[in-house]
Amino acid sequence: MADQIGHDLNVEGVTKLYGEFAALDNVSLTVRRGEFLTLLGPSGSGKTTLLMSIAGFVQPDRGDIQLDRHSIVRLPPERRNFGMVFQGYALFPHLTVFDNVAFPLRIRKCSQAEVQAKVNAALDLVQLASRADRYPRQLSGGQQQRVALARAMVFTPHLLLLDEPLSALDKNLRSEMQDELKRLHKRIGLTFIYVTHDQDEALSMSDRIAVMRDGRIIQQGSPSELYDQPATRFVANFLGRSNFLRGAVDAHIPGGFAFTHQGTRFTQAVPGGDCPAPGQDVVLALRPEKISIVDGGAPSDNALKGVISEWNYLGAQFRLVVDTLEFGAVVIVIPTWKSGAPPATGQPVSIGWDASAATLVSDN
C-alpha cells in the first residue's frame, strides 16, 4: 500500500447524527485513485462533516469508510496517513516554515537527512524554499496556504483532504492558487478530496463533483455533466444559474416531448428517451446563455415574446431580464459582441431556444 501514490476511497452508507439532526444521512461515495473530487454544497450541507469523517475527526454513527477495500472507520486520524489542509491552514505558529513542513516527517521518525531532503523538495514544489526560516505569521495568506499544502503532502499521504483551502484568499490570488493546485494534482497524482461552497472553484478544478445538501449527496458527476444535466432544481441553481420552465406534458414526439404552458406549446428533446407520461407536470432548467434573441433570423424550436425589463452590462456579456407572459421574468445572457445595439428597457423582443437546450429536472 505504501509504494503506490493514489488510493481508492469508499464511503458506504455513512450517517452522522447530532441529536435529532442528521449531519450526514446515509452517504455513499467512491473516490477513484488519483482523482480530484470536490464536495460542493452550501454551508450546513454536511460536506465538511463528511471530510472530517474521512479524516477521522468525526466518528460516524453508521456506515463504513474503506481505503483500498480495508475499513479505516475505527482508526484514529493519526493512523490514517491522510494529508489535510484545514480552513485557515492551522499552521503551527511556534515553528518555522521548515519545521512546520518537517513535522509529519519527524513524527514518523525519519532520519535527519531524509527530513532535510523531503522538506526542501516540498518547499521547492510550492516555491517557498527561500522562506524556510520564516515564521507563519511573517508570510502572506497565499504563502501560508502553500506551506499548509507542502506540510500535507511531504509525507506522501494516501489521500489529500482540503477543507475550503482558498476561502481566505482574495479573488486574484484564489484563481492563481486554483491553477497551482490543479497543476500539483496532475504532477503528483495523489487522490484529492476538496471541499468548497464555491461553484466556480468546483467547476474549474474537479475531475468529479459531488453536490451535497442536507447531509445527502444529491448528484455526482463530471463538471460538464452536472452543469449540462443537473438532476434537480437545486443543482441547476447552485452550479451556475438557471431559468425554470414549468408545464404539462402534451404528447410524445420523435426524440422528446411537447409540453404546454398557459396555452403556448413548446418542444423538449430527451436524449435518453425516457420521456415523462403525457399529462404529467414537468420542470425544465434552461441556462441563460442558451437563450438567444431572435430578430427575424433563423427560427428556434421554441419562441416567446417579451419585454426587456432590466439589463446589465457585464463587459463580455449583457445580462437581460425579459418579462414574458408565459414564464414571468426570464434571464438571458448574450455575448456583447453579438448583440449589436445595446438593449433598452421596455424594448419588445422575441427570444428562442433549441429543443435540446433545456434539461428536465426534478422539482426540489
Applying CB under 8 A, the residues found at the interface with other proteins are 55-57, 76-78, 81-84, 86-88, 90-94, 103-104, 107-108, 135-138, 151-152, 155, 170-171, 199-200, 240-241, 288, 314, 319, 333
Q: Using the minimum distance from each CB to other proteins, give the nearer residue, 107 or 248.
A: 107
Point out which residues pair with 302 in neighbouring strands.
Answer: 353
Q: Specify the residue, 137 or 187, whose C-beta has the smaller distance to other proteins.
A: 137
Measured distance CA(52)–CA(47) in Å, rounded: 9
C-alpha cell of residue 158: 494516501
Angle at 299 between CA 297 and CA 302, to 5 degrees: 140
Q: CB 4 → other proteins: shortest distance, Å?
A: 19
Nearer to other proteins, 4 or 138 (CB): 138
Min dist CB 86 to other proteins, Å, is: 5
* CA dist., res. 144 & res. 51, Å (int): 21
CB of 78 to other proteins, least distance (A): 5
The distance of closest approach from Cβ of residue 241 to other proteins in the complex, given in angstroms and rounded to an integer, is 5
The H or E element spanning position 119 is: helix 112-125
b/e 168-204 (16+ beta carbons within 10 angstroms → b): ebeeeebeebbebbeebbeeeebbbbbbbbbbebbbe
- CB nearer to other proteins: give 103 or 259: 103
The burial class, CB within 10 Å (0-12 / 13-18 / 19+), for 69 is exposed
Nearer to other proteins (CB atom), residue 181 or residue 203: 203
Residue 146: CB atoms within 10 A of its CB come to 25
Distance in Å, CB of 288 to other proteins, minimum: 7
How near is the Cβ of 284 to other proteins at its closest, in Å? 19
Q: Are 286 and 329 in contact (CB under 8 A)?
A: no
Complex with other proteins: residue 103 or 234, whichever CB lies closer: 103
Nearer to other proteins, 78 or 176 (CB): 78
Backbone angles phi, psi at 213, to 5 degrees: -155, 135
Residue tagged 431572435 (cell numbers): 294
Query: Closest approach of Cβ 181 to other proteins, in Å?
Result: 18
